[in-house]
Structure 1
Amino acid sequence: MVTSETPPPFEPINVIELSSVESSKIVSVSLYSGRAEITRLYKLDVKTGQNQVTITHLPNVLDWASLWVEGRGAATIHDVTVSYSPTPPTVTTSPELSASLLKKERTQKALDRCKKSLASLESYLGTLNVERIEVAQIGNVVEKYETEAEKLDDRALELEKQLRDIDQEIISERTKLNAVGRGWNNKLSLQAAIGVFAEHEGEVEIALIYAVSSANWSAGYDIRVNMQTKEQQVTLIYKAAISQSTGEVRSQFLFVFHKYSLHPIIRLQAIPASHNSAGPPVLLRKTNVQAVEEMEESDDEMGFGIFDDEPSMAHREIGVSSTGNVSATFQVPGLITVPSDGQQHNVTIVQLKLDATLSWISVPKEDTKTHLKARIKNASDYTLFSGNASVYVDGSFISRSYVPPVSPEESFDCPLGIDPSIRIMYHPRSKKVTHSGFYQKTANHVFSQRITIFNSKSTAVDNVKIVDQIPVSENSQIIVKMSNPALTLPPSSGTTIANGKPPQPVDVSPGIKAQWDGTDEPGFDMTALGKDGKINWVSSMPAQGKMNLHLQWEVTAPACAIIVGW
């Protein structure tokens, strides 16, 4: 059909070029182990119709498939592609560099002239004939030479100094040119092209949310123990060591989140109009993510849905996929700056006041030193990730330790180093031998071991555990019996204890109990009760107190037997 109407002309595409470094700000960074999610906000003016927005200087470590786009304003996002930016021409000169080179050339020529003048003066002095000069004039000639030569020397020194200064200016300017030509492009050479169709002219906002590698954090701790109090003796300072070398060299404000939630990861894949640009299709961010009931933070706190409170740009038709994931996150109040230097920068996540049960343990048969240990309960909402810890007791650094993974309401053991105020003497062992029998003589060996413990503290201590051991017979002809403390083994049926319960501790003296070693520990294997010969005493000691322990056992064997191992 022929018509006289002329079709409307195509509106030209409005091209907008933005530098991610200069035209945006980082509004949040969610840091994970080995990666980070960055949200950058851009403000730009669009014209009615089609706008092609190109954002340059995105980091090379950006995960192309992770790029999400959100927008606010009366416009529609059509497509998003990622590619490498064209390599800019190498910058080799500038007006400043040209001026410095010209100044150097002029100064060099002036220095050459000065040196020639000085050489001419010396040459003239060498041509003078003493026989033709009156004696009275020789002094004037020499004085004139000295004056002129000194002026030329000073001039030459000044020009040489100027040349050195000019050379520094040239080096500095060339360094700047190299930074412009190569510095940013080494790590920030990606660009994103975004098609935006605007209903009318005006300002819109676009947020780019993308993941980058080369960012990491690890847990670390300061454990401070106050021995002067009985409640909440432990202060645990939970720290994060953050490092990044993403190439986003301007200061970044990193937030580390703190709630443990189950939430979906929803990704929406764009359907590009063409495949002319390099790289795979990009993922667009969905703007109406539904929060899960367990999730107490808002989408805005998590870096999602930053435009949820206002009308958001629509997206062109997309396909949807979703997966579930459990994430452990922390939130740190305030802002911190982490440069792109690959170095670790520490930030405090939280400071926790925790209850702990302190105990002292020593195996004086091996070493008379007393080790201090804390059984710490994580009575907080924070999960503790594995990490190294610096241990302080009453303000003094004691040792390095290690914190295992600990969930809320779980407990963990933390070695606190040597406590020199609990001193132990392991006295020499005594032995008595008697014989009995007429035809088959039997030797009875009685061993006695004394242990003395001193508490030199000005305060009482509880849970002091001393571990010792008697030998265990591996031959039916050798019988070992412990006589002090009077610990016995319950009757057994085969390889199991009859009632499945360990024997009760024995009261040795007021405040001191003896037991088979291990029976007070959770998950103890009852079938191993007493098989290693280990026992322990657990006691409470008053300030400046002293405690004596006595271990005695008998070994009965044929008198002619040669026994080894005791």
Structure 2
Amino acid sequence: MTATPTIHELETRDQHISQVKVFTDRAEIRRFVKVALKSGVNEVVLKNLTNNLTHGSMRVEGRGKATIHDVVVKNVSSLPQESDSPKMAALRATLQEEKARLQTIDDRGTVVQKSIENLDKVFGAVGGGLVNPPKEGGVSLNEGTLTSLKNFFDFYGNNSESYREKLRVIEKEHREQQEKVRKVEQELNLIQVKFHNNVVTQAATITLECTEETEAELDVIYQVQNAGWSPSYDVRVDTEKPSMNITYFGKIRQHTGEDWTGAQLVLSTAQPCLGGKIPELGTLEATFRVRHYPSPPQVMHMQTRSASLFGAASAPQPQCMTLGPPMEKMNVAVASEVTQNTLSTEFKILREATIPHGTNDHKVTVGIVTLSPKLVHEAVPSKNAAAFLTASAINTSELAFLAGDSSVYLNNAFVAKSHLKNVSPGERFTCSLGVDTAIRVEYKPAKKYHEEGGYITKHSANVTEQTIAIKNTRSEQPVLLTIKHHVPRSTDEKIRVKLVAPAAVPYDAEKATNESENAEPSEGAKFNSSNNLEWTVKLAPNSSQDLIVKYVVEHPKDETVQYHERF
């Protein structure tokens, strides 16, 4: 005969969260459970688990003289009040108290209203007796009667006014108390909508066995959906030094249906959603494609105007009234520990945090990095006829920057919202600082002409000549400007592309090294890995120059070449 197990029912939300590891698309919760076990079989039941629990993710680790046999998670029926969070339970209690106060005010108002009605009845009865006296007996109006009437009228006037003033005060209290009740009801309804209260919740049953009574400590670990974190950055560039200060933030969102109270936070760059299965490779078959001759697409050129962001940078700072000696600048708490794993990086946040359900933007500081940038100008005139100041730097820190939004400040003035790409330690990256209106870029209309040649095999040659006029209006210093421009890349051996001007260094993937990729921009023309031309020139103060990009595309006469921009 199997012995009846000892049941230990515990509320999940009452068990302390020792750690929350937040991934980019979910979170892993570690709760500490302490329980006094009886000799024999024990079942520890954790009630009201979140419905956002990831199926199959729960595991249990323990310490003590007991054996863990199994862990079972199942759906159970419950009343809405049983699955209330602590905040919801507190709001329900507050709502009952506010409704009780409202009822007390109602009762006071009823008593005062009855007093006014009764006083009016007495006054009406006395007045009616004077105007319409009974037939059998009259009313004798003597000095004593008149004195009594005067005293009665004074009593009625004073008390009627007092009662009505009390009623007005009570009515005001009633309106204010009704508003308090309404606000608590709205807050409770809002939280109920967020938590999606159900009559079905999840419960975990942990079966343990021990030979004697003992204290056991359990670490219950499970993953939840509807949580995650994303990076964001404050990039501050000082052009005088120059220096680049990057503050690395982690923005946490939490809609898991449970509150994280006093938890140690760890942000992980691991992405469990990608899975660990290697994709299979099918057979690549080569077949003839049916040719289509679509009409050439119409391209619309749109001029984009970019406002200068340097005027804001040089604007005078507002004067602040000084009330005493300057105070020390506050330090910023950053991640206390950075752990590099095989496939990910983990950032342990310095202090415990409380993040309730429904949080969209809980920001913590991962780290602060100071770099020495190279300030250069870049332009893509075919897209935008403006010169952008960019800060080029090598990530000399141990932090890997994940792709995320960034706010860019130039000389303590906000200039732009940007996006930072993935940057590994030791890798060079660039950050746009806005448009420099002192550098003028003019993208002139391209000259295009067609040639035909060949004696046996006729071929066509399309020649494109593009002039880009650049000018440095500054009178103090030279400027290093990099022009980026398309040069078509052939995808067919019958299409031959030749760059006539300028003389450019071709891109060689075999010779490309990390050192060359991290090298600072230098004068000259070269092709990058995307087969785009990067032409860097040095513009002296108050000087201008015309850059000519010329290339020839040769192809069979009976073929039409189309150009598609692919990223």
TM-score using structure 2 length: 0.60
2:219 aligned residue: 207
Task: Tell me which of 205, 225, 229 is aligned to 1:193.
Answer: 205
Q: How far apart in 1 are the matches of 2:504 and 2:166? A: 100
Q: How far apart in 2 are the matches of 1:497 and 1:171? A: 74
Structure 1 residues 146-545: aligned runs within 5 Å: 146-157=157-168, 160=171, 186=197, 189-230=201-242, 233-251=243-261, 253=263, 255-257=265-267, 326-361=343-378, 369-420=386-437, 422-424=438-440, 452-455=471-474, 460=477, 462-465=479-482, 502=504, 519-523=525-529, 525=531, 538-539=537-538, 541=540, 545=541
Deviation at 1:539, TM superposition (A): 1.5
Instruction: Work out whether residues 359 and 372 of structure 1, in 8 Å CA contact, stay in contact via their aligned partners in 2.
Output: yes
- 2:72 maps to 1:53: no
Secondary structure of residue in 1 paired with 2:352: coil
Call closer, same or farther: CA 1:152–1:379 in 2, change over 3 Å.
Answer: closer
How many aligned positions are there? 420
Q: How far apart in 2 are the matches of 1:97 and 1:548? A: 77
**Amino acid across the alignment from 2:231:** A
Q: How far apart in 2 are the matches of 1:121 and 1:81? A: 76
Q: How far apart in 2 are the matches of 1:413 and 1:49? A: 65
Q: How far apart in 1 are the matches of 2:214 and 2:407? A: 56
Instruction: Work out whether residues 261 and 328 of structure 1, in 8 Å CA contact, stay in contact via their aligned partners in 2.
Output: no
- 2:543 maps to 1:547: yes
Alignment RMSD, CA only?
Answer: 5.0
Deviation at 1:224, TM superposition (A): 1.4
Deviation at 1:89, TM superposition (A): 7.4
For 1:149-202, what per-residue CA distance to the aligned partner results, in whole angstroms no more than 9, with x for missing partners? 234334544665676687689879989999999997827932111111122212
Deviation at 1:117, TM superposition (A): 1.2
Call closer, same or farther: CA 1:130–1:119 in 2, change over 3 Å.
Answer: closer
Deviation at 1:37, TM superposition (A): 0.6
Moved more, 183-192 or 210-219: 183-192
2:28 aligned residue: 37
Call closer, same or farther: CA 1:164–1:121 in 2, change over 3 Å.
Answer: farther
Secondary structure of residue in 2 paired with 1:110: helix
Call closer, same or farther: CA 1:406–1:105 in 2, change over 3 Å.
Answer: closer
Identity %: 25
For 1:352-404, what per-residue CA distance to the aligned partner results, in whole angstroms no more than 9, with x for missing partners? 22343221245889987532022232233333222121111111111111112
Instruction: Work out whether residues 236 and 409 of structure 2, in 8 Å CA contact, stay in contact via their aligned partners in 1.
Output: yes
Instruction: Work out whether residues 359 and 373 of structure 1, in 8 Å CA contact, stay in contact via their aligned partners in 2.
Output: yes
Secondary structure of residue in 1 paired with 2:266: coil
Task: Tell me which of 58, 63, 69 is aligned to 1:67.
Answer: 58
Q: How far apart in 2 are the matches of 1:552 and 1:90? A: 76
Q: How far apart in 1 are the matches of 2:194 and 2:530? A: 62
Call closer, same or farther: CA 1:379–1:103 in 2, change over 3 Å.
Answer: closer
Deviation at 1:121, TM superposition (A): 3.0
Q: How far apart in 1 are the matches of 2:398 and 2:364? A: 19
1:120 aligned residue: 121
Q: How far apart in 2 are the matches of 1:226 and 1:139? A: 89
Greater gyration radius? 1
Instruction: Work out whether residues 100 and 170 of structure 1, in 8 Å CA contact, stay in contact via their aligned partners in 2.
Output: no
Q: How far apart in 1 are the matches of 2:545 and 2:194? A: 72
1:13 aligned residue: 5
Q: How far apart in 1 are the matches of 2:69 and 2:505? A: 76
TM-score using structure 1 length: 0.60
Q: How far apart in 2 are the matches of 1:358 and 1:50? A: 70
Call closer, same or farther: CA 1:127–1:158 in 2, change over 3 Å.
Answer: same
1:144 aligned residue: 155
**Amino acid across the alignment from 1:523:** S
Deviation at 1:426, TM superposition (A): 7.5
**Amino acid across the alignment from 2:263:** F
Q: How far apart in 2 are the matches of 1:28 and 1:143? A: 75
Q: How far apart in 1 are the matches of 2:411 and 2:185? A: 56
Secondary structure of residue in 1 paired with 2:249: strand
Instruction: Work out whether residues 262 and 353 of structure 2, in 8 Å CA contact, stay in contact via their aligned partners in 1.
Output: yes
Moved more, 333-342 or 189-198: 333-342
Instruction: Work out whether residues 21 and 268 of structure 2, in 8 Å CA contact, stay in contact via their aligned partners in 1.
Output: no
Instruction: Work out whether residues 52 and 193 of structure 1, in 8 Å CA contact, stay in contact via their aligned partners in 2.
Output: yes
Secondary structure of residue in 2 paired with 1:85: strand
1:441 aligned residue: none
Gaps of 5+ in 2: 83-91, 133-138, 277-336, 446-466, 487-495, 507-521, 550-567
For 1:133-163, what per-residue CA distance to the aligned partner results, in whole angstroms no more than 9, with x for missing partners? 4696565453233123234334544665676
Instruction: Work out whether residues 332 and 350 of structure 1, in 8 Å CA contact, stay in contact via their aligned partners in 2.
Output: no
Deviation at 1:124, TM superposition (A): 2.3
